[in-house]
Amino acid sequence: MNNRAIGCILASLLLAATASCNENGRGPAVDKSSNQLKLTVVYDNHSGAEGLKPAWGFACVVEGLEKTILFDTGGDAPTLLANMAKLGLRPQDVEVVVLSHAHGDHTGGLRGFLEANSRVMVYLLDSFPAGLRNDARRRGADVVDVSGPTQLCAGATVTGEILGEAGIPEQSLVLRGNAGAAVVTGCAHPGIVRIVERAKALTEVEVLLALGGFHLSGDSDDSIRGVVSRLRQLGVRYAAPCHCSGDRAIELFADAYGDRFVPCVVGTVLDVGRMINGTGIEEGRGK
């Protein structure tokens, strides 16, 4: 069985588990006293199940910390909210919204999300266009302007602005566990390697999981392989490229990472706590 096939089976198992937990439309409460730290992909270019809509963009929900975090909002609110509902996630339970960068496929769902729940803190970069900030404030949200690394709650930090050659300011979410960290990216315009390096310096632990858009679409195989090997050198144990990573990059990551490649589509649910807390890391993938 090849990696792709294993990945598909894994994704199906995760989706099945999610569906069975959500018959009452909500799903089980995360036990905040445990190590359970769960990440659910709610917006992506690809979907893992019928009824979950794919669209160009990215968003995910992190549960199990002191605060429930929505990272990015996808390109439109109807898709975001419909996928969240299908996955048993209520907008009212989100307390923190992080916007990775100011592109529409990550911010487009914000306005509609705030109509469903404006009692949130929105963390955006102070270099973002003023319109985004003012709009969020007008809709009742508290806005926090971020420049450097900023803690959202225990175990969750944003990197603050990272600017690469592309000149597009972006921040990433870093989840810190006892054994290492997970990094969640929007588009990774500054470069996924640079982001992982920054997260590693910030947390002073290994980055065990990198998940999100890696922005490698159109890159040559050699260049993608270079990124893969650099991430491996940096200690990234699990790779979950999605959104703008590009199909070819996703294939090459799957080949290189084998059973530590994590398929990432709308509906993917990961027990990140097990991956970064050293409590049976392999189990974090659903094994």
Residues forming the site for Zn ion (CB under 5 A): 103, 105, 187, 244
3-state secondary structure of 91: helix
**Could you give the angle at which helices 221-234 and 192-203 cross, rounded to 10 degrees?**
10
- Smallest separation, CB 170 to Zn ion (Å): 8
**Shortest Cβ distance from residue 206 to Zn ion (Å)?**
26
State which residue, 16 or 166, has the beta carbon closest to Zn ion.
166
Specify the DSSP element, H or E, that contains 123.
strand 121-125
Evaluate whether 124 touches 161 at the Cβ level (below 8 Å): no
Beta bridge partners of 125: 146
105/271 with CB nearer Zn ion: 105
Q: Which is nearer to Zn ion, 187 or 231 (CB)?
A: 187
Q: Give the nearest distance from C-beta 247 to Zn ion in angstroms.
A: 15
Residues 124, 153: Cα–Cα separation, whole Å: 16
The distance from CA 109 to its chain's CA centroid, rounded to whole angstroms, is 15
CB of 68 to Zn ion, least distance (A): 23
**Nearer to Zn ion (CB atom), residue 15 or residue 55:** 55
- Which stretches within 175-266 are classed as H helix? 192-203, 221-234, 247-257
CB 243 → Zn ion: shortest distance, Å? 6
Cβ count within 10 A of residue 26: 12
> Measuring CA to CA, which residue among 156, 177, 141, 198 is closest to residue 71?
156
Q: Which is nearer to Zn ion, 37 or 187 (CB)?
A: 187
